[in-house]
Structure 1
């Protein structure tokens, strides 16, 4: 893994808690400029304070990614404050306790976990595609294997529970990764991959989930060999962010043992292209992106 990251600027959502926070500090220790996005200003301020004696820097950007207008404002801020970003890391995620809607009237888990990365990538693609080693990395999960992409009920009006909603959003993350890779022009230097960080019971991800789900998570975390530490998950994420081996690998779902085959819905071209088009409609952008830079 690359040791000197002093030339790298990394935009990391979900970097104020859990393994995202560990990754942010590790990257700053190695000299990177890390633009951390989170909802909690107090946690953000604490993280910035922790970074003051490190080789790199951490800047905090407060944003609730459930709101599309906030995602667009965040993109505008990034374009204004950073000459260029090298890595766009979509790590923020949630599991709502019951079906709730975002400020835009979209099922909340889908809005934060899938549509926010989709829209933020659209808004920032031109701001990092000319970097020396431009990367998009999405935090997915192996829990996606329990889901299907029901495109007739993408917003979960069927009353699915929070774990189903989360699994479906992670499946959407992988489909987005593969479709974006497929759409990038042949001469693009951008790589796009997604990672399963492991099962991390100590994270706050399921804090709003029903009691039954929280108990299942806690019990599973007690089974030897099942749980992943925050540090191990952070290391796995950082591998995709900066390791040279992922500077030339794209369109991959990466697990603990390297690239792996995801569930079939994620690779089904008809399904992922329809998801792409529906996502564009939900966030109000043209579906024919990215536009090839050369013909």
Structure 2
């Protein structure tokens, strides 16, 4: 296994879309993929910051969208499809820990909307350009905290007894379940899908919450990985020829790892897909496989 992520992997002629790319491991991944020759498109929420980062890292272009809002996910995907006929790599990286329960303008709990429904819907909306690119890859950033997650089928949005860590670990479990079901549904299409744990990374992640959570994360950051170290597995799955055609797997430190037992539950993966369809189909224009 490569020990240096995307280093040495030729990405010339490939188009890559990276979400959550204005800071942290997403920014490092986008910058590195651009340096490897890829045409990189980044997605960010703040127009000025996203434009600045796109220039800084040498991205080909950028999209502005709040990916916690399903209508904006659809709009961003439509803009991408209008510009690009194919997509070689979709790196779903955007995510957050939300200290106090919040809802999006569409009335969905923020963690569930941003960390899971965003991945699900954006991938669905970008299937046409993905399927137009031979050997396309979907790379979903999950976390090892999925091992403590459980699907609260009767209360996925934590309307009762909100827990920031509970909501986050559930969303990261959902990332692995979604990846496995996506891989199953895309079998034979040439599009692969894999999930990963980036490691505990020393970024601004979680600091937006303030208070005790921000202080705890700050203390833990002493022992954390740098952004560059944390981006390596994302880069490996996005660019390495070693994993071409590998699909439905979970990776840690650029190696395949065994996810938690609850992440290997095929019935739960199928149920999650159905539930996610119900969420995204509430608005017109969605497409699911």
Aligned residue among 36, 40, 59 for 1:30: 36
TM superposition shift of 1:158: 2.1
Alignment-derived partner of residue 219 in structure 2: 219
Contact preservation (8 Å) 2:236, 2:254: no
Q: Write the distance in 2 (CA, Å) between the matches of 1:48 and 1:38.
A: 10
Q: Write the distance in 2 (CA, Å) between the matches of 1:239 and 1:36.
A: 18
Q: Write the distance in 2 (CA, Å) between the matches of 1:242 and 1:4.
A: 8
Query: What CA deviation, in whole Å up to 9, does each residue of 1:189-224 have, x standing for no partner?
Result: 111001111101x3222023352222222222224x
* Structure 2 gaps, min length 5: 1-5
Aligned residue among 182, 185, 194 for 2:184: 182
Alignment-derived partner of residue 94 in structure 2: 92
TM superposition shift of 1:287: 11
Q: Write the distance in 2 (CA, Å) between the matches of 1:148 and 1:188.
A: 30
SS at match of 2:60: strand
For these two proteins, the number of residue pairs brought into alignment is: 281
Alignment-derived partner of residue 83 in structure 2: 81
SS at match of 1:72: helix
Contact preservation (8 Å) 1:99, 1:159: no
Q: Does structure 1 residue 151 correspond to structure 2 residue 153?
A: yes
Contact preservation (8 Å) 1:162, 1:209: no
Alignment-derived partner of residue 263 in structure 1: 260
Alignment-derived partner of residue 12 in structure 2: 6
Alignment-derived partner of residue 3 in structure 2: none
SS at match of 2:207: coil
Q: Write the distance in 2 (CA, Å) between the matches of 1:184 and 1:49.
A: 34
SS at match of 2:209: coil
Contact preservation (8 Å) 2:10, 2:239: no
Q: State the TM-score, normalizing by the size of structure 2.
A: 0.92
Contact preservation (8 Å) 2:17, 2:43: yes
Q: Write the distance in 2 (CA, Å) between the matches of 1:143 and 1:69.
A: 29
Contact preservation (8 Å) 1:281, 1:287: no
